[in-house]
Structure 1
Amino acid sequence: MNSYIFHGGKVLDVDQGVLLDGVEVQVEGDRIVRVSSQKIDPSGAARVDLKGRTLMPGLIDAHVHVIATLVDLAKNAELPSSLIALRTRKIMHEMLMRGFTTVRDLAGADLGLKLAVEEGLIDGPRLVICGKALSQTVGHCDYRARTDKRELHAASLGALGRIADGVDEVRRAAREEIKGGAEFIKIMANGGVSSPNDPIHVLQYSREEIRAIVEEAENYGLYVSAHTYSDASIRRAVECGVKSLEHCNLITLETAKFAAQAGAIACPTLAAYEGLALEGAAFGLGADSQAKIDTVRTSGLGSLRLMKEAGLPMGFGTDLLGQLHKYQSMEFEIRAKVLSAHDILHSASRVSAKLCMMENQIGVIAEGAYADFVVVNGNPLEDVAILSRPEESLAAIIRGGTFYKNALAA
Structure 2
Amino acid sequence: MEDVLLDNATVLDVRTGELLPDRRVLVHDGLIAEVGGTEVAASGARVVDLAGKTVLPGLIDAHVHVTAVTADLAAQAEWSPNYVAARSGRILRDMLLRGFTTVRDVGGADYGLAEAVAEGLLPGPRIVFGGKALSQTGGHADLRHRGRLAFDQHRCCPSMGVVCDGVPEVRRATREQLRTGADHIKIMLSGGVASPTDRVDSTQFAIEEIRAIVEEAEAANRYVTGHAYTAAAINRGLANGVRCIEHGNLLDDTSLALFREHDAFLVPTLVTYHQLAAAGLDYGLPPESHRKVDDVLGRGLDALRRAYEAGVNLVYGTDLLGGMHPHQLGEFAIRAQVQPPIEVIRAATVNAARLLRMTGEVGEVIPGATADLLIVDGDPTTDIGILDGSRHEFVMRAGQLHEVRG
TM-score grouping bracket, smaller chain normalisation? over 0.9
Q: CA RMSD in A?
A: 1.3
**349-358 vs 134-143, which deviates more?**
349-358
Q: Which amino acid aligns with 1:401?
A: G
What does residue 12 of structure 1 align with? 12
Match for residue 391 of structure 2 among 390, 393, 403: 393
Gaps of 5+ in 1: none
Q: Does 1:100 align with 2:97?
A: no
Alignment of 1:5-404 (within 5 A): 5-388=5-388, 390=389, 392-404=390-402
Q: Per the alignment, do residues 351 and 317 of structure 1 end up closer, same or farther by CA in structure 2, a change over 3 Å counting?
A: same
Q: Per the alignment, do residues 229 and 58 of structure 1 end up closer, same or farther by CA in structure 2, a change over 3 Å counting?
A: same
**153-162 vs 296-305, which deviates more?**
153-162
* 2-structure distance, mates of 1:203, 1:402: 45
Shift of 1:250: 0.5
* 1-structure distance, mates of 2:300, 2:124: 29
Matched residue SS, 2:155: coil
Shift of 1:155: 2.8
Q: Per the alignment, do residues 340 and 208 of structure 1 end up closer, same or farther by CA in structure 2, a change over 3 Å counting?
A: same
Q: Which amino acid aligns with 2:191?
A: G
* 2-structure distance, mates of 1:281, 1:230: 25
Shift of 1:38: 4.1
Question: Can you list the C-alpha shifts for 1:9-59, whole angstroms capped at 9, x where unaligned?
Answer: 210000011111122211001101111244313232232211010000000
Q: Per the alignment, do residues 70 and 386 of structure 1 end up closer, same or farther by CA in structure 2, a change over 3 Å counting?
A: same
* 1-structure distance, mates of 2:169, 2:254: 33
* 2-structure distance, mates of 1:49, 1:164: 55
What does residue 405 of structure 1 align with? 403
Q: Which amino acid aligns with 2:396?
A: I
Shift of 1:151: 1.8
Gaps of 5+ in 2: none
Shift of 1:406: 6.0
**TM-score of the pair, normalised by structure 1:** 0.97
Does the 8 A contact of 2:69 with 2:87 survive in 1? yes
Q: Per the alignment, do residues 154 and 187 of structure 1 end up closer, same or farther by CA in structure 2, a change over 3 Å counting?
A: farther
Shift of 1:321: 0.6
* 2-structure distance, mates of 1:252, 1:343: 22
Question: Can you list the C-alpha shifts for 1:35-87, whole angstroms capped at 9, x where unaligned?
Answer: 12443132322322110100000000000000001100001111101001100
Shift of 1:266: 0.3
* 2-structure distance, mates of 1:403, 1:68: 27
* 1-structure distance, mates of 2:46, 2:280: 47
Matched residue SS, 1:78: coil
**112-121 vs 277-286, which deviates more?**
277-286
Matched residue SS, 2:103: strand
* 2-structure distance, mates of 1:319, 1:154: 24
Identity %: 43
* 2-structure distance, mates of 1:405, 1:44: 21
Does the 8 A contact of 2:21 with 2:52 survive in 1? no
* 1-structure distance, mates of 2:129, 2:327: 22
Matched residue SS, 1:112: helix
Does the 8 A contact of 1:152 with 1:163 survive in 2? no
**35-44 vs 124-133, which deviates more?**
35-44
Does the 8 A contact of 1:257 with 1:311 survive in 2? no
Does the 8 A contact of 1:77 with 1:156 survive in 2? no
Does the 8 A contact of 1:336 with 1:385 survive in 2? no
Shift of 1:254: 3.0
